Amino acid sequence: RQRRAWIKKYGNLVARGGDYPPAVLRVHPAATLRDVLVDERAVVPNFIPTFLLFPENHPAHIAFLKERKVLGLLQPKQQE
């Protein structure tokens, strides 16, 4: 019964529940890898971050952002 309900809701058994496509955190080019890994918006248990690089004014960048929820822009931290 649960399998049928899942298939009815998501289309097949491999589909993920929740937000899909996943949300995106935009990263400033000057931000370090440490900045990304310790940011609370990027911390997900048992997950390795994936970085996709697009030029800002490229049509693929605009289409990519239209499909996904943007969590914000990660700015670089000031070095002490």
The predicted-structure confidence for 3-21, as pLDDT tens digits, reads as follows: 888 788 777 776 565 666 6
Task: Specify the pLDDT at position 18.
Answer: 63
| Spatial distance between the Cα atoms of 59 and 72, rounded to a whole number of angstroms | 20
pTM of the shown model: 0.61
> Is residue 54 within 8 Å of 61, Cβ to Cβ?
yes
Evaluated on CA atoms 52, 55, 57, 59, the torsion sign reads negative
| Spatial distance between the Cα atoms of 77 and 34, rounded to a whole number of angstroms | 10
What are φ and ψ of residue 25, in 5° steps? -110, 115
Structure tokens that stand for 53 in this block:
């690089």
Task: Specify the pLDDT at position 67.
Answer: 87
Task: Specify the pLDDT at position 79.
Answer: 66
Strand partners, 70: 24
